């Protein structure tokens, strides 16, 4: 831990994801992780970028009663297909739903919207990233083998885990922040935390 942060406000990551924890650890800060209880359903006619920012803030706010003096980080990610009939894809939750999602993504270009919120008392700081991913044409057997190898994919937006075997499913990835696709945009997170008073690096 950076000595300049020895007296900094307690830092909490509002997530149960081990991937988000591993990402935040890269910034060299001491923090604890706790799982928020939030309804992640989109609201009627809600813009994609608004959904992810709202949910990132809601996840952080859900932990405020437990950690009233802490600085809390929330993050959220959704996947949306491009084209004339865009489809919004969140966490599938089941293997059957994951198979359907990957069939939908096969051969298509999609956008992963990832938002981060740094909640410090009443001060809300928000940022977002959009990552474009072009998927290969996926065969049914490829989808099944991928889900056999990556059962945790049912807990990821679009059933896609780029940090693991999922990288083999795509042709190209384009982003301003490669960490965003894994679930936490570190470039933006570092900036927001510096604004909140943390020394990074």
**Residues labelled as active-site residues:** 76
Sequence-separated (6 or more) residues with CB below 8 Å from residue 160: 79, 102, 105, 112, 133, 153, 166, 169, 170
Contacts 24+ apart (CB under 8 A), 149-157: 151/95, 153/92, 153/98, 154/91, 154/92, 154/93, 154/94, 154/95, 154/97, 154/98, 155/17, 155/91, 155/93, 156/77, 156/91, 156/183, 157/77, 157/78, 157/79, 157/89, 157/90, 157/91, 157/112
In angstroms, the CA 117 to CA 119 distance is: 6
In angstroms, the CA 98 to CA 154 distance is: 6
């Amino acid at each position: 831990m950076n000595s300049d942060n020895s007296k900094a406000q307690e830092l909490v990551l509002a997530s149960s994801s081990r991937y988000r924890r591993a990402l935040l650890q890269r910034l060299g800060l001491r923090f604890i992780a706790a799982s928020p209880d939030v309804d992640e359903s989109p609201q009627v006619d809600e813009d994609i970028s608004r959904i992810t920012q709202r949910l990132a803030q809601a996840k952080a706010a859900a932990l405020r009663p437990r950690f009233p003096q802490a600085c809390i980080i929330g993050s959220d990610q959704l996947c949306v297909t491009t084209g004339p009939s865009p489809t919004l894809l969140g966490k599938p939750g089941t293997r059957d739903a994951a198979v359907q999602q990957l069939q939908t993504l096969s051969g298509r270009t999609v956008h992963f919207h990832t938002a981060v919120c740094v909640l410090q008392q009443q001060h809300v700081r928000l940022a977002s990233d959009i990552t474009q991913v072009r998927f290969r044409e996926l065969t049914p057997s490829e989808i099944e083998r991928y889900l056999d190898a990556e059962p945790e994919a049912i807990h990821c937006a679009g059933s896609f885990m780029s940090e693991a075997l999922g990288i083999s499913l795509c042709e190209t990835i384009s982003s301003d922040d490669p960490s965003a696709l894994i679930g936490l945009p570190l470039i933006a997170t570092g900036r927001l935390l510096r604004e909140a008073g943390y020394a990074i690096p």
